[in-house]
Amino acid sequence: MAHPQTKTAAHPLYEGTFSVGLDKEFNRIEREDPPAKGALKISLNPFLIRSGDKNILFDVGVGGFGEDTSTETIKENLEEHNLTEYDITDVFASHLHYDHIGGLAGRSAGYWELTFPEATIWVSGNGWKEVIGSEEYYDEEKTQFAHFLDAKANISFLEEEDQPHPEITVKKIGGHTKYSQLLLFDDGQQKYLMAGDVLANRGEVNRTFEAKYDVDPRRSMQIRKELTRKAYEENFTIMGYHDSHHPLFRLTDYDEQQGYKIEPV
Q: Are 206 and 184 in contact (CB under 8 A)?
A: no
Q: Over the chain, what is the mean pLDDT?
A: 96
Q: What is the pLDDT of residue 6?
A: 54
| CA 32 to each of CA 77, 111, 203: distance values in angstroms, whole numbers, following the listed order | 21, 35, 15
pTM of this prediction?
0.96
- Place 158 in a pLDDT band, splitting at 50, 70 and 90: very high
Whether the predicted pLDDT of 4 surpasses 80: no
Q: What is the pLDDT of residue 2?
A: 47
- Structural domains present in the chain: 5-264 (3.60.15.10)
- pLDDT single digits (tens) 173-228: 999 999 999 999 999 999 999 999 999 999 999 999 999 999 999 999 999 999 99
Q: How many CB atoms lie within 10 A of CB 191?
A: 17
Q: What is the pLDDT of residue 108?
A: 86
Average pLDDT, integer, range 37-47: 96
Q: What is the pLDDT of residue 109?
A: 85
